[in-house]
Amino acid sequence: MLEGAEASRLIKAVTEQAYNAVLITDGALSSGGPSIVYCNPAFCRMTGYERSELLGRSPRLLQGPDTDPAVIDSLRQALRQGRFWEGSTVNYRQDGEPYFVNWSISPIVDDCGQVSHFVSIQQDITSRVRAETERDMLIQALNQAHDPVLVTDRDARIVFANAAFEELTGYRTEEVIGQTPALLSSGEQGPDFYRTMWQTLNSKRPFQARFINRRKDGSRYYVEQSIAPVLNKGGSLTHFISTSWQVDELVEREKALVDMATRDKLTGLLTRRAGDDALLRAHQEHLGKDTPLSVIICDIDHFKQVNDRHGHLSGDRVIREVAGLIERQLRAGDPAIRWGGEEFLIMVQASSGVALGLAERLRSAVEHFHDPKVGQVTLSLGVAEILPGESIEQLLGRADGALYRAKRSGRNCTISAAGN
């Protein structure tokens, strides 16, 4: 245990060599006191004063225009009450430059129980305050931004979300902090999409794409999103920052343009060109996965007479009604195509047996339909299933031949192509 002179020398060495500024004043609170009786080199470096310029003077010489009066009042009250105090404000160096200081003051009591001195430990926190101020300004700017901004750590845990993000997604910031952006996933973009995203980001390159996301209430929305990796001075990945802008209206316009190009204006079914593309894709899948593929070609019976007797408006109405009846009978994933004027093609990704059953349901549904002006309407249908090594053209030729035989057989009937 250190005692006497040895302890004194150690205490002096500690205060003289301390990284933090140390200031000791006497305990006099009157006549402008207390006065400085000791300051260490760190205090001199912080304030720009020589020790000789500080001893015997009041610490008030460090105060200036931006020193917070409320902080000083709180300090003085603590000194008068002889209790510990801690706070921060702006002080001024000898050259007039302001700095932010955080300090704690402890009263030193003598053997009689009276406060004889005050010891203050001080830190220059200017860099920290400026960093916090810049951060707060950045947060304020990001919160005022019109577009959503999201920041995650390198493990993709959300650390910041701005007000626009809250407005778009319906999630409050406190609900998403610590979560990953996966909570926004709609499930409509597969693993390959996100694998590509992470491969790009982990290679420290930005990633931009259209995301299909889901709000807190379950509704879907589209955003063009740009995600940038944030690197520290050493080049290590620390965060990701994402900015996005909602493109729901753009997507709707794009869909409308696609529909104009791929959907028949009268019936809403696929156009012949779009149907050709769908058949090509189905044929490629058939070749790649050996999946079954059948087609139904059907034609409204005696349609020329409908136009000749009742006019083209009635003819258009009948085509539209028959198209609606066909579409309501179809399975999901089996597209209907307006193949010609009054001719339709249905692509069925199943065997000819399934396709024949569907064709008969179509025939029956149309047979039981009566147009108020034209009367009964019927269909003739030809069905064909693709054969090994057969092209789309050959498949369609056999289905068309079956349709021709159905018409020759009295119409209002379904015939399967030879070879099925």
* Residue 326 and residue 208 share a domain: no
| Sheet with 414-416, side-by-side order of all strands | 336-338, 343-348, 294-300, 379-385, 414-416
Q: Dump pLDDT digits (tens) for 108-118.
A: 998 888 999 99
Same domain, 273 and 247: no
Please tell me the predicted confidence (pLDDT) of residue 132.
83
Indicate which CATH number applies to the domain containing 395: 3.30.70.270
CATH (domain of 82): 3.30.450.20
What is the DSSP secondary-structure string of 4-62? HHHHHHHHHHHHHH-SSEEEEEES--STT---EEEE-HHHHHHH---HHHHTTS-GGGG
Is residue 172 domain-shared with residue 112, that is, in the same domain? Answer: no
Same domain? 351 vs 220: no
Full residue range of the structural domain in which residue 218 is found? 145-251
Q: What's residue 7's pLDDT? A: 64
| Residue 274 and residue 181 share a domain | no
Given a contact cutoff of 8 angstroms between Cβ atoms, the answer to whether 278 and 347 are in contact is yes
Beta bridge partners of 227: 207, 242
Looking at the structure, tell me whether residues 19 and 60 fall in a common domain.
Answer: yes
Residue 135 included in any domain: no
**360-403 pLDDT tens trace:** 999 999 999 999 899 999 999 999 999 998 999 999 999 999 99
- Catalytic-role residue among 50, 342, 343, 390: 342
Question: Residue 262: its pLDDT value, please?
Answer: 82
Q: Which of 226, 251, 276 is where one domain is finished? A: 251
Look at residue 1 in the predicted model and tell me its pLDDT. Answer: 52
Instruction: Tell whether 37 and 154 lie within a shared domain.
Output: no
Please check whether residue 136 lies inside any domain of the structure: no
Q: What is the pLDDT of residue 420?
A: 65
- Which single residue is written with the structure tokens 């409204």? 300
Residue type at position 87: G
The number of domains in the chain is 3
Q: Are residues 282 and 373 in the same domain?
A: yes
Same-domain status, 54 and 105: yes
Helix, strand, coil percentages for the chain (3-state, nearest 5): 45, 25, 30
Alpha carbon distance 258, 248 (integer Å): 15
Give the contacts of 387 (CB within 8 A, at least 6 positions apart): 394, 395, 419
User: Is 118 inside any structural domain?
Assistant: yes
State the 10-residue block means of pLDDT for the chain, 420 residues long: 66 83 90 87 94 93 93 92 93 95 93 90 90 77 82 92 92 94 92 94 94 94 93 90 87 73 87 90 88 94 91 92 92 88 93 92 93 92 93 94 93 85
Residue 259, domain member (yes or no): no
- In this predicted structure, what is the pLDDT of residue 381? 96
pLDDT digit string (tens) for 286-316? 888 888 999 999 999 999 999 889 999 999 9
Give yes or no: 342 in active site. Answer: yes
Predicted TM-score (pTM) above 0.75: no
